[in-house]
Amino acid sequence: MAVSGFEGFEKRLELHFFGDIDDDDGKNMLGLRLLDFESLEQVLLAVQCTVVSAVGNPFFDAYVLSESSLFVYPTKIIIKTCGTTQLLKSIPPLIHFANNLGLTLQTCSYTRGNFIFPKSQPVPHTSFQEEVIYIEHNIPNNLCYRKASVMPSKLPAHSWHVFTATLLPPLKSPHHATFTVEVCMTELDRLIARKFFSRDSKTGDLAGRDMTELTGIDTINAGAFICDFAFDPCGYSMNGIDGDRYSTIHVTPEDGFSYASFECVGSVYDDPDDIVETLKKAVRVFMPATVSISSTRCSREVWTKMERALQPLGLKCRSFVMDEFPAAGTISYQTFTAARRK
């Protein structure tokens, strides 16, 4: 808990590994999924959070954390945490455990928005410069294609911080066929935000399910299996699983620093209209006054359609920037604000 309020903006780390995971017995095809729960607990202890709920399918395992989410695939891990967690301290133990499984780090990506309460962040998150230095000291030297950048916007409190590193030459990454979209929303509609306060002393899975249905979160991707959790006295997290794809939502509903995030992954071959419609549904759930959208490896068609899609919700595009990163390809960053706020 930050001094002034809870920090909703997440820090996000994605690590890709490679190695021989195709043994005849099939066991090693699980790759990183072979990590036992005790090892994951060690990683999360360094970060300062815990697992509150978990679910898996043939493709990956998804964990709802006390401070956001963790996704474990055979050769990649995505972990995002909010509050005053020390996310980057997960890098050394994750690399260690992966090496023990015969896996080698291939790419590292770190992203985050602007903290609402930056002075409450602990080392190594007191500044983006400090974060970059910490990452570079804790990843192998052969990840030599590196870039750190702060992507600006016309909104002073909204910029996108990105660091990527890879051992492959730029544009040679095997992950180019997937995209990731991160949506950050602030100043949520107050009536909607109140739905994320626990009632009747219910918390955990039951209250989480109520919030999912009450707010329409379950309609964003009707085909996904949702693992949800409500916190006491307020707050909400969910992971959605749909085949080899995940989506995730985290909500901090308190007045004055209300925040919600939505993240999803998909294939660059998906219909851009479907992607845009999913994002529009997510934003409609919360009706925020400010929205920022970062997309990694999305088509240009998605960027342009987002502007038109959010206009009926009273949101106007204020800025758009894009940049190229060795381990991620093209990253775009858009910001939107409500034209009028009742």
Per-residue confidence band for 118, with pLDDT thresholds at 50, 70 and 90:
confident
Q: What is the CATH number of domain 11-168+177-338?
A: 3.60.90.10
**Annotated binding-site residue numbers:** 6, 67, 231, 254
| CA dist., res. 232 & res. 112, Å (int) | 25
Window from 54-63, 88-97, 168-177 with minimum mean pLDDT: 168-177
- Residue spans per domain, the chain: 11-168+177-338
Q: What is the mean pLDDT of residues 205-226?
A: 92
Residue 290 backbone class (left: φ over 0; alpha: ψ -120 to 50; beta: rest)? beta
Q: Above 50 in pLDDT, residue 221?
A: yes
Alpha carbons within 13 angstroms on the beta-carbon side of residue 213 total 5
| CA dist., res. 292 & res. 335, Å (int) | 4
| CA dist., res. 319 & res. 152, Å (int) | 9
Q: Is the pTM of this model over 0.75?
A: yes
Angle between helices 37-47 and 91-100 (to 10 degrees): 160
**Annotated binding-site residue numbers for substrate:** 6, 67, 231, 254
Q: State the DSSP code for 234.
A: B
Over its C-alpha atoms, the chain yields an Rg (Å, rounded) of 19
Q: Above 90 in pLDDT, residue 74?
A: yes
Q: What 3-state class would DSSP assign to 290?
A: strand
Q: What is the mean pLDDT of residues 1-10?
A: 62
Condensed to tens digits (0 to 9), the pLDDT of residues 35-73 reads 999 999 999 999 999 999 999 999 999 999 998 999 999
Per-residue confidence band for 177, with pLDDT thresholds at 50, 70 and 90:
confident
Catalytic residues: 68, 82, 237, 250
Window from 96-105, 203-212, 231-240, 276-285 with minimum mean pLDDT: 203-212
Condensed to tens digits (0 to 9), the pLDDT of residues 273-332 reads 898 999 999 999 999 999 999 999 877 788 788 888 899 999 999 999 999 998 888 999
- One-letter amino acid at 165 equals A
Q: What 3-state class would DSSP assign to 43?
A: helix
The first and second tokens of residue 224, run together, are 């996904």
